[in-house]
Amino acid sequence: MGERQTQVEIEFGTDPKKLARRDGMETSKEAAAKVNTSRLEQEVYEVILKAGSQGVISDEVRKAMPHVFSYSSVTARYKSLKEKNLIVATEERRPGVSGRNQSVLVASVILRSRGRPDSNQGA
């Protein structure tokens, strides 16, 4: 008997129009169109998903992606992942490298499997 898979296709990526201000310079709009948000978003999601119920803080996500040099290339993905209900910023906080507390990010599917309510406050 074959194994039944219940995998949902996730659409990663952000419309470039959302990445640059309407009244922004043309160079900003051109740069936004060149960002591979699909790849970055999927990579950020996979780091958070692999952390399981322990979750991760932003510093840990960035550490797992040393090939991405821009801070905002990683952190900007949180918003779209939250809007798609793929990740949650829990009420838990942990100190980051700076000593300041950061929200713990957990994949929504992990919280649902544990019967914990989603909470997208902070982060």
Sorted by where each starts, the structural domains of the chain and their CATH numbers stand as: 27-113 (1.10.10.10)
Check: CB of residue 122 under 8 Å from CB of residue 89: yes
Q: Would the pTM of this model clear 0.85, i.e. be above it? A: no
Helix or strand (DSSP H, E) at 107: strand 101-107
Helical H segments across the chain, by residue range: 26-34, 37-50, 58-63, 71-83, 108-113
pLDDT over 80 at 85, yes or no = yes
- pLDDT tens digits, 49-81: 999 999 999 999 999 999 998 888 899 899 999
Distance, in Å, from the CA atom of 69 to the CA atom of 58, rounded to the nearest integer, reads 14
Q: CA 71, 42, 93 angle in degrees (round to 5)?
A: 55
The residues pairing with 87 across neighbouring beta strands, listed in sequence order, are 107
Handedness of CA 28, 30, 36, 37 (dihedral sign): positive
- Looking at residue 32, its pLDDT comes to 60
Question: Which of residues 52 and 115 earns the better pLDDT score?
Answer: 52
- Looking at residue 13, its pLDDT comes to 76
Percent of the chain's residues with pLDDT above 70: 69
Q: How far is CA 38 from the centre of its chain?
A: 11
Mean pLDDT of 44-48: 96
Nearest to 56 by CA among 87, 84, 17, 18: 87
- Looking at residue 123, its pLDDT comes to 45
